[in-house]
Amino acid sequence: MAERGRILKVYNNVLHVAAEDAVILCKLRGRVKKGRSDMGLVPGDLVALERISPEEGVIERIEERTNLLQRPRVANLTQIVITVAAASPDPHPLVVSRFLVLAELSGVKKIILCVNKMDLCTGDPATFLAEYEAAGYPVLRVSAEQGTGLAELRERLAGEITVLTGPSGAGKSSLLNALDPSLALVTGAVSEKIGRGRHTTRRAELLPFMGGYVVDTPGFTQQELTELGPEDLTHCFPDFAHYTGCRFSPCSHSHEPDCAVKAAVEAEALSRERYDAYIALLNELRTKKK
Ligand code: GDP
C-alpha cells in the first residue's frame, strides 16, 4: 500500500524521504521519472511511496506544491525567517528588502524578520528595524550569544517548516544551534562552511526540528532577483498597497506625479529607507530588462 512521505534531501539521485516511522531511501518509479526528472524533486516535496524493504522504497506520485522557494530550491514551506544581524555585518536596508522581495515571490505566506546579535545593538533595542514592523512584518530581536529572545523564536519555529535566509554571517546557524545543540551546524566563515571551494553550493536539507523542520542555507546568501519584471516589484512590497489613489494606474511609484506612495513617504507614514530600497531594486530590474 502506498504511504505518504516528505523529501528531506536529494543526494546522488537517492531521495531521502521521511515516512511515518523511518527515513526511507527512495528512487523514482520509471513513469514518474518521465514527467519530472530527479532534479525536479526538491526537499519539502510530498510524495506517495511504495516500500520495497524496511529502508527502501519507490516514489509513485508527487503531490502538488503549495509554494517553491528558488534559492535554495525547497518546496511547501510554511514560513520564511529572514535573519539579519543588528551589527557585524550591519543590516543594509537594500539587503533586507531584497530578501523580503524574494520571500514574497516564493508564495510563502508567513514572513518573519529576525534580528540577531542584539547584544551588539547600540541605541534603543525596542525600535531597531521598527520600519519593517510598521510594514507589517513581525520582527524578533534576539541574541544567539546571550540567549535573549530565543523563547519567542522557538515558539515561532515549533511545528513549522521554516527556511532561514539572510546574509552570510548573520548568525543563522548559531541561532539554530542555540535552540537545538544536537543540530551541530557549522558556524563561522562561509568559506569554511562550504569547504570545497567558492563554486560549490551545498544542497539544501530539511532538518527535523521541534515537531517541524528547518532548512539551514550556507552558500545561498548571494540573492539575485532574476524572475521578476520591474512592473511586478510593487506586489512584493505589500505595505505599499495601503496607499491607494495614485493618479496613474498602474503606478510604478517612481516618476509619476500625484503618487500616493510618494505622498506617504513625504508625510512620514511610510519609511523613506524602505522606499529608497524599492527605488534601488526597481532601477536594478529596469537595467536588467534592457
Ligand atoms: P550564518 O552565516 O548566518 O549561519 O552565521 P553563523 O551562525 O555562522 O555566525 C556568524 C558569526 O557571528 C559567528 O562568528 C558567530 O559566533 C557570530 N554570532 C552569531 N550569533 C551571534 C550573536 O548573537 N552575537 C554576537 N556578538 N555574535 C554572534
Delimit the domains of the chain by residue range.
3-62, 68-216, 230-289
Is the pLDDT at 275 greater than 90, yes or no?
yes
Query: Nearest Cα to 26, choosing from 35, 160, 45, 34?
Result: 45
Q: What mean pLDDT is reported for the chain?
A: 89
Residue minimizing CA distance to atom 17 of ligand 1 = 171
Angstrom CA distances, 24 to 6, 156, 207, stand at: 10, 29, 15
Mean pLDDT of 208-228: 79
Q: What is the pLDDT of residue 223?
A: 67
| Strongest mean pLDDT among 185-199, 223-237, 242-256 | 242-256
154 CA distance to ligand 1 middle (Å): 17
Report the range of poorest mean pLDDT among 200-204, 213-217, 260-264: 200-204
Burial 256-290 (b: 16+ CB within 10 A, else e): eeebbbbebbeeeebbebbbebbeebbebbeeeee
Q: How far does the centroid of ligand 1 lie from the alpha carbon of residue 109, in Å? A: 27
How far is residue 128's CA from residue 8's CA, in Å, rounded to a whole number?
Answer: 35
Best CA proximity match to 139, nearest among 81, 98, 95, 77: 81
* Probe target for ligand 1 pocket from 174, 186, 223, with the most ligand atoms within 8 Å of CB: 174
Give the confidence band of 217 by pLDDT, cuts at 50, 70, 90.
confident
Binding residues: 116-119, 166-174, 246, 251, 253, 259
Question: What is the β-pairing status of strands 110-116 and 139-141?
Answer: parallel
- Does the CB atom of residue 221 touch ligand 1 within 6 A? no
* Cα 218 to ligand 1 centre (Å): 13
Domain 3-62, second-level architecture: Beta Barrel (2.40)
Query: Which protein residue's CA is at the shortest distance from atom 5 of ligand 1?
Result: 171
- Cell output for 51: 516500500
Least confident of 47-51, 72-76, 234-238: 72-76
Choose between 127 and 37: higher pLDDT: 127
pLDDT tens track for 8-53: 998 888 999 999 989 999 998 876 555 544 458 999 999 999 999 9
Query: Hey, which of 119, 173, 187 would you mutate to test ligand 1's pocket, going by the most ligand atoms within 8 Å of its Cβ?
Result: 187
Show the beta-strand stretches assigned E in 105-186. 110-116, 139-141, 161-165
Looking at residue 212, its amino acid is G
The residue nearest atom 13 of ligand 1, judged by CA position, is 188
Position 219 pLDDT exceeds 70: no
| Residue from 98, 225, 89, 116 nearest 171 by CA | 116
Residue 42 Cβ contacting ligand 1 at under 6 Å: no
Domain 68-216 CATH class label:
alpha beta
Nearest CA, atom 16, ligand 1: 188
Residue 197: which pLDDT band, with cuts at 50, 70 and 90?
Answer: very low
CATH of 230-289 given 2.30.42.10, 3.20.10.10, 1.10.40.50, 2.40.110.10: 1.10.40.50
Q: Is the pLDDT of residue 198 over 60?
A: no
What is the pLDDT, as a whole number, of residue 196?
Answer: 44
pLDDT of 67? 94
What's residue 31's pLDDT? 61
Residue 64 has pLDDT above 50, yes or no: yes
- What is the number of the ligand 1 atom nearest to the C-alpha of 187? 8
Binding residues for GTP: 116-119, 166-174
pTM of the entire predicted model = 0.91
pLDDT of residue 226: 75
Adjacent-strand bridge partners of 159: none
CA-CA distance, 188 to 171, in Å (whole number)? 8
Amino acid at 58: V
